[in-house]
Amino acid sequence: MAHDQAADAAGKLVIRNIGLMLSGALEQPILDADAIVAVDGRIVGVGRLKDLDTQGATTVVDANGAALAPGLIDSHVHPVAGDWTPRQSQLNWIDSSMHGGVTTMISAGEVHTPGRARDIVGLKALAISAQRMYANFHPGGVKLHAGAPVIEHGMEESDFAELASAGVRLLGEIGLGGVKDGPTGRRMVEWARKYGIQSTIHTGGPSIPGSGLIDKDVVLECDADVVGHINGGHTALPDDQIRCICEGCKRGLELVHNGNERSALYTLRTAREMNELHRVILGTDGPAGSGVQPLGILRMVSMLSSLGDVPAEIAFCFATGNTARMRNLDCGLIEVGRTADFVLMDKAQHSPANSLLESVRLGDLPGVGMVVIDGRVTAGRSRNTPPATRIPEIVAR
Ligand SMILES: [Zn+2]
């Protein structure tokens, strides 16, 4: 299901009886609040129901004690067109991810496009086209920031200026195209940054035939804004190189589902030792050779919390507020003025845990009971997660 943003305003949404409010912010991951109000897709009030202005609500949701968190952000996807991926010949992978709580996605390059152009005018055209397509089309309501050109030798500063003026805000993973060396990568990252285009670099061994090895020296020299899949995509660098990258820069440390899980845990421990958990963000790196993971972000949260000894409310920040801050998004945090993108969850039925957070700490996946994007309910009980114990319901509309 796609929805047309311009069709109608979202109206006033009130969600009450929230059992646990996760903020997405590392500095205060749990809020003392049981209700939230949004008008036309923006949060206007968070707190106790009795203290909020709920007059004139057009939609009222009773959370029935379920938890509310900011909608999850997948920092690393590879879209092609619409809700189709040729990588595994699948349809509706974006809508399916929305049922896994994902409300925003970031393209790391439209690299699976059949016959992808590698000449400079062609790669620019592809990026501009992808940016437009996903600005205009939101499968399942998901906001996909796309149009991420894969840089090639021969590009000049004027190409980056042209891309930026055409609305391109991202670079595809450096290393997936012809540029795999530090000096060229750094020059182009600096041009991109000058024009407001954010950059990501592929890290580790080749992901599919045609991509190449990017080691710590190239990563540190290029100095991209995000160290893309520092846990490999799928082949990770040796631990000593991962540590060098963590210590040698202040950039984002992206952990992906389609990477090496042991290396993800090593990176997490390193970032924690450095007291720099704010640098950790999550992605799936799907669609990929290893498939599409509609629950990939939830699986990362659960894996990092249970095996990495991180409180679940902190692990949720890696998939929400951390990514939003690093990527300058207006979602990802529960605070007035932010976009009303929410996922409502509870512990899955028959989890041995006593609460959602404890269930994640035990390595279980949460059950998603409702998803809200731009102040609109886009899904009730998820068709993909295990069933949640308590399910929110729309009580007035
Ligand atoms: Zn990659």
What's 49-90 look like in SS3?
HHHCCCCCCCEEEECCCCEEEECEEEEEECCCECCEECCCCE
Q: Which of 41, 38, 138 is nearest to 98 (CA)?
A: 138
Give the distance (Å) from ligand 1 centre to CA of residue 225: 15
Give the distance (Å) from ligand 1 centre to CA of residue 21: 34
CA distance 176 to 123: 13
Query: Phi and psi at residue 245, in whole multiples of 5°?
Result: -65, -45
Give the distance (Å) from ligand 1 centre to CA of residue 113: 15
Give the distance (Å) from ligand 1 centre to CA of residue 62: 41
Give the distance (Å) from ligand 1 centre to CA of residue 17: 42
List pLDDT tens digits, range 166-216. Answer: 999 999 999 999 999 999 999 999 999 999 999 999 999 988 777 778 999
Domain segments of the chain as ranges: 12-70+333-396, 72-294
Question: What is the reported pLDDT for 131?
Answer: 98
Least confident residue range of 8-12, 232-236, 310-314: 8-12
More confident of the two residues 209 and 236: 236
Give the distance (Å) from ligand 1 centre to CA of residue 288: 10
Give the distance (Å) from ligand 1 centre to CA of residue 233: 5
Give the distance (Å) from ligand 1 centre to CA of residue 90: 20
More confident of the two residues 256 and 207: 256
Question: What is the reported pLDDT for 8?
Answer: 61
Does pLDDT of 148 surpass 80? yes
Give the distance (Å) from ligand 1 centre to CA of residue 169: 18
Give the distance (Å) from ligand 1 centre to CA of residue 67: 33
Q: Which of 194, 192, 242 is nearest to 214 (CA)?
A: 242
List pLDDT tens digits, range 6-34. Answer: 446 789 999 999 999 999 999 999 999 99
The answer to whether the Cα torsion of 112, 383, 138, 327 is positive or negative is: negative
Q: Which of 89, 104, 29 is nearest to 283 (CA)?
A: 104
- The fold adopted by the segment(s) 72-294 is TIM Barrel (3.20.20)
- The fold adopted by the segment(s) 12-70+333-396 is Urease, subunit C; domain 1 (2.30.40)
Question: What is the reported pLDDT for 6?
Answer: 44
Please state, for a pLDDT cut of 90, what percent of the chain lies above it: 94
Give the distance (Å) from ligand 1 centre to CA of residue 257: 12
Give the distance (Å) from ligand 1 centre to CA of residue 166: 25
CA distance 397 to 279: 40
Give the distance (Å) from ligand 1 centre to CA of residue 109: 9
Mean pLDDT, the chain, integer: 96
**Ion ligand 1 — residues with CB < 5 Å:** 173, 202, 207, 233
Give the distance (Å) from ligand 1 centre to CA of residue 313: 28
Q: What is the mean pLDDT of residues 316-330?
A: 98
Give the distance (Å) from ligand 1 centre to CA of residue 214: 10
Q: What is the mean pLDDT of residues 103-123?
A: 97
CA 314, 317, 322, 328: dihedral to nearest 10 degrees? -160
Query: Phi and psi at residue 382, in whole multiples of 5°?
Result: -60, 140
